[in-house]
Amino acid sequence: MKLYRYIDYDRFKEMINDKQLAFVNPFKYWEDKKEGYLYKMAREDKYSDFFMGRGLDEFKKQLKSGALDKEIIGQNMDWFRMRCICLSKNKCSFEIMKNYKFNFGVCFEIESADLLKLKYNQHKVEGMNVEYRKCLDKDDIKKIIRNHQFPFTQVLSLKSADYIYENEFRAYVCLLDKNGQFELSEDLIKVNIDIPIDKFINRVFPYPNLSEKDSNELHNFCNEKGIVVSKWEEKLDE
């Protein structure tokens, strides 16, 4: 499956030079009002009886037995040390790009199989599709949580149906060891790209409103790194 990352050129350039992808703590870095109701609930600590650490011992037992289903809640929503990166399954979307308001933006294409081969130390990069819902109510929340076992991926995989055009895929790293212990980590981690960078990135699409100067800079940089630059393929909004 092809995935697309929309990013500012300076961050793109840093990623290429360092051969690293940035994964962030969503509860610290994401201030996105578009996120789903469950995500907002987690951030605002509503319905706190759902977040009192029930199931933690059972989860640790599952980790030790090798049954890593990751369904657990925690009083501190960062207890599982989840670090994430957002991508889209949609190529060259003006609708997505305009949300970021980049002065100099690009969209680059990668393969999901390559992304999911990466590791942060011993922790595998995993992924999930975002599910778009019109709304969630308390009954929905209770069904999702199921006997006070909180599926943490649901916190970040539900989003408002108003943003279905994003067609989002989220990759993440869960920084727990096999004994269920935290791995101390910063809110932003860098995952090494062990694949040659010109193989990891299929191609780059520069935003079509770039100045001639910026376009030349991007082409020169990508040519130096052996990365293919392609023309933006979506039609401009009328």
Higher-pLDDT residue of 70 and 58 is 58
Determine the pLDDT at residue 101: 73
Amino acid letter, residue 132? Y
* Residues 78 and 198 sit within 8 Å (Cβ to Cβ): no
* Residues 90 and 3 sit within 8 Å (Cβ to Cβ): no
- What's this model's pTM, rounded to 2 decimal places? 0.79
Determine the pLDDT at residue 104: 86
3-state secondary structure 37-105: HHHHHHHHCCCHHHHCCCCHHHHHHHHHHCCCCCECCCCCCCCCCEEEEEEECCCCCHHHHHHHCCCCE
pLDDT exceeds 80 at position 150: no
Residues 6 or more apart whose CB falls under 8 angstroms from that of 205 comprise 91, 92, 106, 107, 108, 109, 229, 230, 231, 232, 233
Of 176, 190, 193, nearest to 115 (Cα)?
193
* Residues 110 and 200 sit within 8 Å (Cβ to Cβ): yes
Determine the pLDDT at residue 139: 65
Best-predicted range by mean pLDDT (63-72, 156-165, 178-187, 200-209): 200-209
Mean pLDDT throughout 111-127? 93
pLDDT exceeds 90 at position 125: yes
pLDDT exceeds 50 at position 49: no
pLDDT exceeds 50 at position 203: yes
Determine the pLDDT at residue 36: 57
How far the first Cα of the chain sits from its last, in Å, is: 30
Instruction: Indicate if the alpha-carbon torsion angle 65, 69, 75, 77 is positive or negative.
Output: positive
Determine the pLDDT at residue 68: 33
What does DSSP say about strands 158-160 and 131-133: parallel, antiparallel, or unpaired?
parallel
Report residue 231's pLDDT band, with 50, 70 and 90 as the boundaries. Answer: very high
H/E run at residue 191: strand 188-192
pLDDT exceeds 50 at position 16: yes
Quote the percentage of the chain above a pLDDT of 90: 42
How confident is the prediction for the chain on average, in pLDDT? 77
Specify the length of the chain in residues. Answer: 238
Higher-pLDDT residue of 32 and 174 is 174
Determine the pLDDT at residue 237: 46
For 182-196, the pLDDT digits (tens) are: 776 788 999 999 999
184 CB neighbour count, 10 Å cutoff: 7
Report residue 208's pLDDT band, with 50, 70 and 90 as the boundaries. Answer: confident
For 107-116, the pLDDT digits (tens) are: 999 999 999 9
Of 60, 183, 69, nearest to 126 (Cα)?
69
pLDDT exceeds 70 at position 43: no
Determine the pLDDT at residue 175: 83
Q: What are the residue boundaries of the structural domains of the chain, listed by start?
A: 2-225
pLDDT exceeds 90 at position 147: no
Which residues sit opposite 82 in a β-bridge? 174
